[in-house]
Amino acid sequence: MKSAEKNGITLLLASLAVGTFMSALDTSAVTVASTAIKNSFGISLSTVEWVITGYLLVISSLLLTFGRLADIHGHRKIYILGFSVFTAGSLLCGLSTSIASLIGFRVLQAIGAAMMFSSNSAIITANVPAEKRGKAFGIIAVAVAFACCVGPVAGGFLVGALGWRSIFLVNVPVGIIGTALAFRFIPHDQKKQGQRFDMIGSALIFAALFLVLLPLDLSASKGFPVPVFTALLCGGLALTAVFILWERKTPYPMLKLALFKNRVFSASLAATVFNFSAQFMMAFLAPYYFQNVRAMSPALTGLLYMPMPLATILVAPISGSFSDKHDSRLLSAGGMAVMASGFCMLAFLDTSTPYWFIVIAMILAGTGSGMFQSPNNSAVMGSVPAEYRGSASGTLATMRNVGMVLGVALSGALFSWGSAHAALMPEATHYTGLAFTQYLATNGLKVTFLAAAATALCGMTASLVKGKTR
């Protein structure tokens, strides 16, 4: 590869990494600021949760729409527009005068983030040679993992020093720089001629995903009515069926369903759902163990969680480069097996588990994630025709978000079931007071972490059945 071409790809990846890092950082930083936002507006914590929930729901529901728009109008154009919208939304969030305006501007942020997420994988696939593609996806995985590392720390520092508005306003200069980089270094792509946008399909899939993800996301909250949960979920699934029927007959589909006949494409997407479900089953409850069962400080909680994203940062570029030359199926499947081993270790946590044991388990989980993500993403994007790369990129990002929401919902349900089941066991009578509460919690955690390990093994199976890829 010529030096000029190599430098151009490096700068292209840098512009994509900045956008990915900024949007991922914003998600984790806002979580840290929840209490400060609550106190600032004098509202309940359940209301503040919509600042986070609304953002995630809108992103997840719009990824396929913007992926298809990028296929028609150009991935570069949608990405740069998304970066600009996200930056403007960040400024408006920082200037919000009420919780209603903050939630509304978070939705604007989410629209911009969906435009970026639905285009970045397609831009990499279109502009990076196939023999370097895995490494490129590894760099993007590093940006996400690095954001997970510094997000809580940076968010806590900014909120403590400058107030909650600073976590949004800091995005503005970074967003301006990132937009300028994208404008300068992402190559132009041609608008597709003779293709129309499927408005009906877009509306159907937005409503379907929103109705499916909303109850799953809120199910982790106490007191969410079961009839409402069932009605929303059934409505979303029904609209999904209508969407599939519509896509089969429309001449310009949002998502070409024939892509799912490709075993590499469909199995890799299934593996993505399993991967992120398993990760978030663990990630949702690990802080509970650290702070509620072990009474650790938030700072120590962050330190013990840090080995997982750090391991991903170190492994993802290596696994991406390796997958460029070898069968990515074995590497991604091996990653899921390593992740499962880490979760199995976490299933044995109790009130006196040594720190070194926790750190090793987290390293294994992060190593497995790093081994899996770059080869799997490269396999998805390399298996589709060029004219549907935006749709494929949006579908991949959608499956990732669906996995996250499923993981959180399953972890809450499994933890509650495991704790309730433990209370009925004969040995439960041996505990009282705090010891009884810890006994119930550790049993709930064991059930959840073992389920996370089993989910990771399902991802390993999906990776193996997709067939040989390189």
* Residues 454 and 315 occupy one common structural domain: yes
pLDDT for position 238? 92
Average pLDDT for 384-407: 77
Question: Which CATH number goes with the domain that contains 384?
Answer: 1.20.1250.20
What are the residues whose beta carbons fall under 8 Å from the beta carbon of 42, sequence distance 6 or more? none
Q: Which of 310, 360, 44, 361 is nearest to 153 (CA)?
A: 310
Cα angle 183, 189, 190; round to 5: 135
More confident position, 349 or 383: 349
User: Which residue, 161, 177, 194, sits at the end of a domain?
Assistant: 194
pLDDT digits (tens, 9 = 90+) for 93-109: 999 999 889 989 999 99
Average pLDDT for 367-393: 79
* Residues 336 and 401 occupy one common structural domain: yes
pLDDT for position 7? 61
Q: pTM for the full model? A: 0.78
pLDDT for position 412? 77
Is residue 88 predicted with pLDDT exceeding 80?
yes
pLDDT for position 8? 63
* Residues 91 and 209 occupy one common structural domain: no
pLDDT digits (tens, 9 = 90+) for 25-47: 776 677 667 778 888 888 876 67
* Residues 71 and 157 occupy one common structural domain: yes
Range of the domain at 439: 259-470
* Residues 282 and 393 occupy one common structural domain: yes
d(CA 40, CA 339): 40
* Residues 406 and 462 occupy one common structural domain: yes
Cα angle 131, 137, 142; round to 5: 135
Q: Residue 44: phi, psi to the nearest 5?
A: -80, 160
The burial class, CB within 10 Å (0-12 / 13-18 / 19+), for 60 is buried
Average pLDDT for 397-425: 80
* Residues 304 and 406 occupy one common structural domain: yes
The 3-state DSSP composition of the chain as helix, strand, coil percent (nearest 5) reads: 85, 0, 15
With a pLDDT cut of 90, the percent of the chain lying above it is: 12
pLDDT for position 122? 78
Total domains present in the chain: 3
* Residues 10 and 144 occupy one common structural domain: yes
